[in-house]
Chain A
């Protein structure tokens, strides 16, 4: 299922692209569908495109939710679908 893990923008690149960080993994994405993204912002990414910019509060709450889910599944064989 389409989990919305916030990705932090690490660097702005040419051609409306950016380098993002998700849990230490870096990826290049397009910023063509969102406006006014700056380094340090959090975005939601789908298939190589940022589709939403999150405010800091929303990003914090979402990251906390995912951290909670991971903790609850740690040590179990449960899979997060």
Chain B
């Protein structure tokens, strides 16, 4: 089992912390280990920092070329990534260095706090043109519009371009969001005979659902208003992603406070939980829910299943496919651009390529 936990961050590149965290939670549950509040906060902070890196990465690398004909902001992202690496180091190096039941390595919460300030500064300067907390005070469409008409960051110019090009509702569909599902409900599905099909093409209550920022931020007044007016189209999705990014620094600070106040970082074995030999770990990643399910036998992994967020959003009957089906017919070049916009708005965890092929003559 420890081998499996150590392998996770080696196998998965862009969400290694989230994968390790979900795996750790699943294995701890299987062994009847309950992590302390401080340890849970440490993991949440590391996962949130990884999400900042992922959201900012797509925003600074993909959005400029796709929406505003500008160059990727590599240097700004490099600065942010250096701070995330330093933060991770200050918090003990990552999830994978603590084995289930073990003690996290030494940490320097002062350095961690400094790095959070660095991350705040990059987000304020490069994305929000104000502090992320301040940006979260934008609570309605009119105030948002005022922001993106005035600010000059990539994010603001992108939203302006989406409006100016009449693309706000691009990809609007009726695909619903994934409700909050308990680990127990996932456990039942992932232990069933049909689980292999579920991990590749997951549905909930018989329907493909969307996971990720729109599902998580839909209750905030700004995102809810956009959704009422423009549905789940391009503008709503991009704003949901920005809203989530803006909310992460505050979440990381809260985690750090819990860690400051925490006593006894050692995860507690046999703290009331029973060793069921099976466990489920759920982690909110930048792209949506990540689920790990482990079944042990005598300390050995008998079965291990993972449901990645991209499998929900890029399901054959899911959010991307329905968004594409709603696209108006345009020339091949414009079509390719619009498809790429929708793909980036949903943010798959792998590289993508858009190929436009004319339909066979008999289908025309």
Contacts and interface: CB of A to CB of B under 8 A. Distances in A.
Given A51-B14, A81-B199, A1 B351 contact: no
B345 interface: no
Contacts of B77: 33
Nearest to A81: B200
Contacts of A47: 61-62, 351
B306 A1 contact: yes
Contact of A65 (B10, B16, B81, B200): B10
Interface of A, helix, strand, loop or mixed by DSSP: mixed
A26 B310 CA distance: 27
Contacts of A1: 12, 306, 308, 310, 349-350
Interface residues of A, number: 24
Contact of A2 (B61, B74, B199, B350): B350
Contacts of B350: 1-2
A2 B81 contact: no
A46 B13 contact: yes
Contacts of B74: 16, 30, 32-33, 49
B351 A46 contact: yes
Interface in B318-364: 349-351
Nearest to B3: A65
Interface in B188-213: 199-200
B361 to A, nearest CB: 34
Given A1-B306, A1-B308, A32-B74, A62 B11 contact: yes
A81 B74 CA distance: 29
A43 B349 CA distance: 18
Given A1-B310, A32-B74, A33-B74, A51 B10 contact: no
Interface in A1-53: 1-5, 16, 30, 32-33, 44-49, 51-52
B7 interface: yes
For the complex of A and B, list the 8 residue pairs with the smallest distance between their C-beta atoms, beginning with the closest. A4-B13, A32-B74, A2-B349, A62-B10, A1-B308, A47-B351, A44-B13, A2-B14
Given A33-B74, A33-B78, A52-B13, 15 more contacts: A1-B12, A1-B308, A1-B349, A1-B350, A2-B14, A2-B350, A3-B13, A16-B74, A32-B74, A32-B78, A33-B77, A47-B61, A62-B10, A81-B199, A81-B311
